Structure 1
Amino acid sequence: MKQRWTSGNKITLLENGEQFFPRVFEVIAAARQEVVLETFILYEDKVGKALHSALLAAAANGARVDVTVDAFGSPDLSDEYIASLTSAGVKIHVFDPAPKLFRRINYFRRMHRKIVVVDGVRAFVGGINYSADHLGDFGPEAKQDYAIEIEGPIVGQIRKFAYDAIVEGNPDRRWYQRRPKSFADAVPKSPPVTGTADAMFVWRDNHHHRRDIERHYRVAIRLARRRVIIANAYFFPGYAFLRELRKAARRGVEVTLILQGNPDMRIVQIAAAMLYHHLLRAGVRIYEYCDRPLHGKVALVDDEWATVGSSNLDPLSLTLNLEANVMIRDRTFNRQLADNLQNLMQNSCKRIEAADLQESSALRQVRSFFLFPLLRRFPAWAGWLPAHAPKLTPLRAAQIRNGADRLDEKAWS
């Protein structure tokens, strides 16, 4: 499937779980034909239970329901949770499962996408997982994040991609066999034109689309004339990406980064801070979001281009994990996202100045001597890691009885 710009879409920004969860659960529960959902994290907390109820409602309506979760991100779903879904006809697929002993170290090449498509006419894409830490009442560790609701022709492409991923992950398929038809092929959809936004669904895989998300970022930055704003949770891109940011700032573009100031993982802030002096010296503005952990993966350029999705700007997302973003050309959406990010900068961020960086010039020179060769080469080095073709294993309740790690690949359905 080609990645291409498609016109006639309506894109709605959803901020945090307070806006995202009620809307996506309402749409899922009202499904009449199909629901296909992918997520990295699904926890059996109040959010996971609300999703559970919505999926059961869709199945009761007669909809085909397919749910894919990542084995690393969603390791602890109970027998009861799975059994009640599968008994209702929900198909649950686990991405790249591993024995329990190795599950928490099998960290590379994960399925990090967050996608929902309902009845072929409405989709959701973003960075929000199904867990209570995306709600403000979770406390100081609640995440700041974004997703979008999509209506229009681009939904058909997202739908086909999601169903094709299930077919490609079929454990019974051999390399020499033709690709079987997916449900998306059997039941074609033609979502109507509903808005004025141009949109492109862009994904990252370990085959033919390894650098696509990064490439679209870099092209947009290269073409920027007035402003670039990037809000990204895990920021440690390669040298070529940093070079585009610096070049844009030096030609007069207002380049702004919003990064973690209250990190969920301390190493994330440490890694990003290693780049601060290099970027500030070129005129890039850096803000740290301090209210709570930033988990968003959004950006905008000038007055039209924007992106929302699952991809961070770090080695895992840019070179290893499976990711999905939507690129958007729409002035109304760009303005809405810009207003949101400006509000973050004004009310919840600390601007970083060169004087705030407490390190000696000698230390900075030594660090740069090692750091920037690494940044130049890590995409190639990451590519040396095993690029296996992870399988989707369908779950049935009987296969996870009493916490046993028994995943029978013959149970594909």
Structure 2
Amino acid sequence: MVTLHEIQDAQTILAGRVLRTPMLPAPKLSEITGAEIFVKYENLQVTNSFKERGALNKLATLNAVERARGVIAMSAGNHAQAVAYHAARLGIAATIVMPVTTPAVKVAATKAHGATVVLFGETVAEAQARAEELQAEYNLLFIHPYDDPRIIAGQGTIAIEMLDDRSDLDCLVIPIGGGGLISGNAIAAKAINPNIDIVGVEAELYPSVWNALHKQDRPIGGSTLAEGIAVKNVGRLTLPIIRELVSDVILVSESQLERAVNAYLTLQKTMAEGAGAAGLAAMLKDPERFRGKRVGLVLCGGNIDPRILASIMVRELERGEQIVSFRLTIPDRPGILGLIASRLGHLGANILEVDHKRLFLDVPAKGARLDVTVETRDRAHAEEILTAMAEDGYHPVRLQGGDVKE
């Protein structure tokens, strides 16, 4: 097992070379969860992820012969950028194998740091197999994203900083992919404070560690917002550490991840990718588990595609009924659309979209169907609008995803 002494050595190596990120109280997140939350902003690193710590700790300790060979890594994005960035700073040639499903923003950033990027496979596991082939073919040094003692030690420096800033934390909630982040931080935190609670979080679609700990066989795979922790293979070094030091692993759904990403953006005014928001997603899922505790969250990455982020924001507005779609059955006569638009305006609804249709057999011959999407203040306001439309005789029916809501 990696020791606190090795993590402290990593801290010395990283000093002045990676950012000592701030950890700040989050009153708005505390209010909605019932816990006292402190957020460690690892999304402020140069590559916008904690991965720089482990990557630099590994690369900085290579000897001249190893550096001359060049390095290779496989990653869904953040480890790739970290290796590419620090390899370039140290004059080491880097090749990165990334799944073809990796968000374009992460691929572009990795190339921008000067690495040779190879896109291969649908998953990290497939990318790893290709990376191992290239490693053997070109005699490169493999930089594993999590199953390496120096990587684990580098990531563990986060907990040292967190407990240096707030020694009274009761709990750390940390995302789990391959397990390097939670392993290093569990070792450091438990060595400093044996009573601190370490809780891990995985995406429901990738319960690799959860399966291993519970001797279960839940399905693994699928498209997830948290591609940074979408790992099928449990770490050989990390699993025993997790088994010994982590009290619980919580699985979070895609909608919970979306809600957490949106909360970071709208309440904390900061960018979190799906994996980076997983800790908050766990607290939103099970607030009673953390109520009244002082909790440290690691916002471990902020590399999210802007289009995905925009989609999440709109979807959250729909979930909160601040954007509402409904279908009206209306008489087909001149001026009716103007009357409805004026009525909605008087009700305080902002019209976003209108779709007017006549040629449907379930609409009266002298009638028409009107699908309307409006912006509202909140759920109560949405109900007020629908009630008014019903009282006006338009028979409103709620729509969801373009279809009638059952």
**Same fold (TM > 0.5):** no
Structure number with greater Rg is 2
Which structure carries more helix by proportion? 2
Higher RCO (C-alpha under 8 Å, 6+ residues apart): 1
Instruction: Provide TM-score, normalisation by structure 2.
Output: 0.29
